[in-house]
C-alpha cells in the first residue's frame, strides 16, 4: 500500500477549494445578473413606459420652470445686480490701471487704492 505524501494531499485540497470557490463565484454572478436584469426591466416597464399626455406635459413643464427659477434667484442677488450695473465703471477702472502699469515699465502691476490714484507694485 502506497502512502500519499503530505504535499500531494495539500495540493489536491487547494485545487478542490479553488474549484469550489470558482464555481460558487460564477453561480452567484449569474444569479445576481438575472435578478438585477429582472428588477431593471420591471422598473422600466412600471415607471418609464406609461407615457401619457400628463407625464409628457409635466416633464416639459419641469424643464421650463428650472431656468426661470435660476434667473429669478439671480435677479434677487444684489452682488450680481451691482456687478451688472457697475460693469462699465469697473472696466474703465481696470483699463486705467492697465495703462498706468504700462507707463511705469515692463512686467509691472498697478493696484487701485481709490478711484483716482494707482500705485505700481
Provide the terminal-to-terminal Cα distance of the chain, rounded to the nearest Å. 98
Domain boundaries, the chain: 7-50, 52-85, 88-121
The yes-or-no verdict on residue 25 having pLDDT over 80 is: yes
**More confident position, 61 or 4:** 61
Q: What is the DSSP letter of 106?
A: T
Report pLDDT digits (tens) over 88-98: 787 888 888 88
Q: Grid coordinates standing for 77?
A: 442677488
Rounded distance between C-alpha atoms, residue 39 and residue 53, angstroms? 26
**What is the predicted pLDDT for the residue at 66?**
66
Helices 78-85 + 87-104 axis angle, to 10: 60
Report pLDDT digits (tens) over 34-75: 999 999 888 877 776 666 666 777 777 777 766 666 666 666
- pLDDT, the chain, mean: 77
Amino acid at each position: 500500500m502506497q502512502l500519499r505524501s503530505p504535499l500531494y494531499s495539500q495540493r489536491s485540497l487547494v485545487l478542490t477549494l479553488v474549484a469550489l470557490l470558482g464555481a460558487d463565484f460564477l453561480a452567484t454572478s449569474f444569479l445576481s445578473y438575472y435578478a438585477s436584469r429582472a428588477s431593471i426591466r420591471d422598473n422600466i416597464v412600471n415607471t418609464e413606459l406609461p407615457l401619457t399626455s400628463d407625464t409628457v406635459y409635466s416633464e416639459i413643464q419641469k424643464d421650463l420652470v428650472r431656468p426661470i427659477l435660476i434667473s429669478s434667484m439671480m435677479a434677487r442677488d444684489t452682488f450680481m445686480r451691482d456687478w451688472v450695473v457697475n460693469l462699465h465703471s469697473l472696466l474703465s477702472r481696470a483699463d486705467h490701471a492697465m495703462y498706468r502699469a504700462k507707463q511705469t515699465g515692463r512686467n509691472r502691476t498697478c493696484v487701485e487704492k481709490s478711484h483716482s490714484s494707482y500705485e505700481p507694485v
